[in-house]
Amino acid sequence: MEIKAAHLDMKSMIPTADYGLTVIDELAEQGFNAIVVEFEDKFPFDVTQGLHHPCAWTKEEFRRFGIRCKEKNIKLVPLLQSVGHLDYILKYPKFRNLRDGGPEGTSYQWCLALEESFDLWCAMTEELLEVFPDTEIFHIGADECNMKLPCEACGTNKIDLYIKRVSRCAEYVQKKGMKALLWDDVFRRYGADKFALLPKGVIPCVWMYGEIDFNYIERMAASGLEFWGASCIQAHRFYYAMSPQEPKMANVDEWGKVHPMYPQITGHIGTIWGRIECQSPIDSTLPQSMFMTAYLAETLNNGIIKDRKKFADDFGKKFFGVELDYDTMLRNFCYEPEYSAPIVAELKDKALRHRDIAEIWYAFNAIDRRILYINLCFANNEAMLKIWREGMAPDEVTSNWLDGVRRCYEDTMEVLAEIRPMMLKYFPEKMWDEFVDQRLGAKLEQNEYWRHVLTAAARKWKENLKKI
Ligand SMILES: [Zn+2]
């Protein structure tokens, strides 16, 4: 396969610009030759008038990133959404007029009947290409767009406008001598025959993150189109800090079956999703995913992995330079963080190489342990609510769960104090604070509510006793 790409989703929690450089080194070492970079609000576009995230890298930092990619023979593939996933722009009042459905319409996608939305996209593309002048492949996104949203300007022929728009965007980059990529799913939903309407040479990227639709792949291949595959190697699950590894391995294995069958598939992107859109909570992205990137790279380079346990243990030994029970550690991330805890703690102290990844895993697993404990306390308190309110729980029970309230707060504070300095080596301070706030801030607020409920329950129990 010609292009083996990992994905840096900057919608989400990004590494610092300096640490981002070492991520490139690690991907090159694993056998990738491309990285798809989805900038979103982390690129300081002049044309959006300063409405980027406070942790956005500077253009100079992006230039350095581009140079490091080149040095490591990694093609940097910019991804700039051309239809939907645009809430990072459209949420702002000054861009409301571009929304699909008019100013009161959706902040998710812009109106394709408006020439201004195309002009803005072109201007943003120009800024990206100015920073990455060696770009050979450009991804115009265009996934998950709603073709049925009511809009006076578009009328009822949104799918035609969509095809016309993505064709224009693709041609825009093709004219500059680059290959154009786009996600395939809108075509998959509204008629794969419409791929024929795209300009020649546009490469659809077929993303299938669970089971593979082999019939669809077969039809794509039979149509003579060149296309890419895309797996999901990382995505959040119920907003834990680490994501589960096994479903991702299963998806990569599926793609491992597909790729040798079809020479029409010339590239693959292992997607690592930070979040759906900038209004949903952030997740950690690339550095956290270093095991799954290795798993995908091995599959793309040498075929399906037959023994996952052996692969996990061999990976760990090579990557960290120390022998541990990596299989158990990795398998329990997200699901049973207590089982991963002693192994990842040992790894953090003993790793001879890539201690950064060991520390990141340790910290995220520690957060997951807290989330799990807090959820357990809350679920119990919720189930007991009627009894708490009536003052029917004996002292022993109430004080046990009041102790839970104390531990929810104190242990969380202790863990956060321990991991914060560690994580600030890798993530911008405000980014880390945002992540912690989104994972634990509301939970700690809710914990105060339970403190009140339980304290009142203890008091009421005593009053009830006096009545007897
Ligand atoms: Zn419209």
**Tokens describing residue 237:** 């699950």
Residue corresponding to tokens 């729980």: 393
How confident is the model over 400-406, as a mean pLDDT?
98
Quote the longest CA-to-CA distance of the chain: 87
- 328 alpha carbon – ligand 1 mean position (Å): 51
Asked if 455 and 373 sit in the same domain, the reply is yes
Q: Which of 275, 306, 337 is the last residue of a domain?
A: 306
pLDDT tens figures, 163-215: 999 999 999 999 999 999 999 999 999 988 899 999 999 999 999 999 999 99
- 151 alpha carbon – ligand 1 mean position (Å): 5
Q: Is residue 192 part of a domain?
A: yes
- 90 alpha carbon – ligand 1 mean position (Å): 13
Residue corresponding to tokens 């990206």: 128
- 410 alpha carbon – ligand 1 mean position (Å): 51
How confident is the model over 251-272, as a mean pLDDT?
97
- 91 alpha carbon – ligand 1 mean position (Å): 16
- 167 alpha carbon – ligand 1 mean position (Å): 17
**Residue 158: pLDDT over 80:** yes
Asked if 274 and 380 sit in the same domain, the reply is no
**Residue 238: pLDDT over 90:** no
**Tokens describing residue 351:** 């790793």
Strands (E), 390-430: none
**Tokens describing residue 412:** 């969380």
- 273 alpha carbon – ligand 1 mean position (Å): 27
- 114 alpha carbon – ligand 1 mean position (Å): 7
Asked if 168 and 48 sit in the same domain, the reply is yes
- 53 alpha carbon – ligand 1 mean position (Å): 27
Predicted local distance difference test score (pLDDT) of residue 124: 98
- Would you place residue 275 in the very low, low, confident or very high pLDDT band (cuts 50, 70, 90)? confident
Q: Are 66 and 59 in contact (CB under 8 A)?
A: no
pLDDT tens figures, 118-134: 999 999 999 999 999 99
Burial (CB < 10 A; 0-12, 13-18, 19+), residue 444, is: middle
Q: Is residue 333 part of a domain?
A: no
Buried b (16+ CB within 10 A) or exposed e, 315-324: bbeebbebeb
Asked if 297 and 373 sit in the same domain, the reply is no
- 106 alpha carbon – ligand 1 mean position (Å): 10
Burial (CB < 10 A; 0-12, 13-18, 19+), residue 80, is: buried
pLDDT tens figures, 293-303: 999 999 999 99
Asked if 384 and 295 sit in the same domain, the reply is no
Q: Is residue 148 part of a domain?
A: yes
Q: Are 298 and 32 in contact (CB under 8 A)?
A: no
Q: Which of 271, 306, 341 is the last residue of a domain?
A: 306
CATH number, residue 182: 3.20.20.80
Asked if 121 and 242 sit in the same domain, the reply is yes
Count Cβ atoms below 10 Å from residue 413 Cβ, excluding itself: 13
Asked if 104 and 191 sit in the same domain, the reply is yes
Nearest C-alpha neighbor of 295 from the set 352, 244, 248: 248
CA-CA distances (angstroms) from residue 146 to 99, 143, 186, 273? 13, 9, 8, 20
Q: Rounded distance, CA 194 to CA 197, Å?
A: 5
- 144 alpha carbon – ligand 1 mean position (Å): 16
How confident is the model over 388-399, as a mean pLDDT?
96
Q: Is residue 346 part of a domain?
A: no
Q: Rounded distance, CA 69 to CA 6, Å?
A: 12
Q: Rounded distance, CA 76 to CA 172, Å?
A: 18
CA trace torsion 211, 214, 215, 221 (10° rounding) = 130
What is the residue-wise DSSP string for 316-364?
A: HHHHHSS---HHHHHHHTTT-HHHHHHHHHHHHHH-SS-HHHHHHHHHH
- 14 alpha carbon – ligand 1 mean position (Å): 32
Asked if 263 and 374 sit in the same domain, the reply is no
Predicted local distance difference test score (pLDDT) of residue 105: 95
Of residues 246 and 285, more confidence is placed in 246
Q: Is residue 324 part of a domain?
A: no
Domain count, the chain: 2
Residue corresponding to tokens 């041609």: 171
CA-CA distances (angstroms) from residue 315 to 123, 197, 297? 43, 44, 12
CA-CA distances (angstroms) from residue 45 to 16, 40, 128, 130, 427? 18, 10, 8, 11, 21
- 117 alpha carbon – ligand 1 mean position (Å): 10
Please name the helix (run of DSSP H) or strand (run of DSSP E) that holds residue 457, with its range, or none: helix 442-467
Predicted local distance difference test score (pLDDT) of residue 108: 96
- 96 alpha carbon – ligand 1 mean position (Å): 12
CA trace torsion 416, 417, 422, 428 (10° rounding) = 70
pLDDT tens figures, 433-464: 999 999 999 999 999 999 999 999 999 999 99
- 155 alpha carbon – ligand 1 mean position (Å): 7
Nearest C-alpha neighbor of 285 from the set 40, 3, 29, 1: 40
Our CA angle for 133, 168, 143, nearest 5°, is 85
- 146 alpha carbon – ligand 1 mean position (Å): 11
Predicted local distance difference test score (pLDDT) of residue 277: 81
- 172 alpha carbon – ligand 1 mean position (Å): 21
Asked if 373 and 442 sit in the same domain, the reply is yes
pTM (2 decimals)? 0.96
Q: Which of 306, 329, 363 is the last residue of a domain?
A: 306
- 305 alpha carbon – ligand 1 mean position (Å): 46
Q: Is residue 187 part of a domain?
A: yes
Asked if 275 and 406 sit in the same domain, the reply is no
Q: Note down the domain range covering 285.
A: 3-306
34 Cβ neighbours under 8 A, 6+ residues apart: 3, 4, 5, 6, 74, 75, 76, 77, 137, 267
User: What is the DSSP pairing of strand 34-38 with strand 3-9?
Assistant: parallel
- 408 alpha carbon – ligand 1 mean position (Å): 48
- 123 alpha carbon – ligand 1 mean position (Å): 20
- 41 alpha carbon – ligand 1 mean position (Å): 23
Asked if 221 and 362 sit in the same domain, the reply is no
- 125 alpha carbon – ligand 1 mean position (Å): 22
- 171 alpha carbon – ligand 1 mean position (Å): 22
How confident is the model over 325-354, as a mean pLDDT?
97
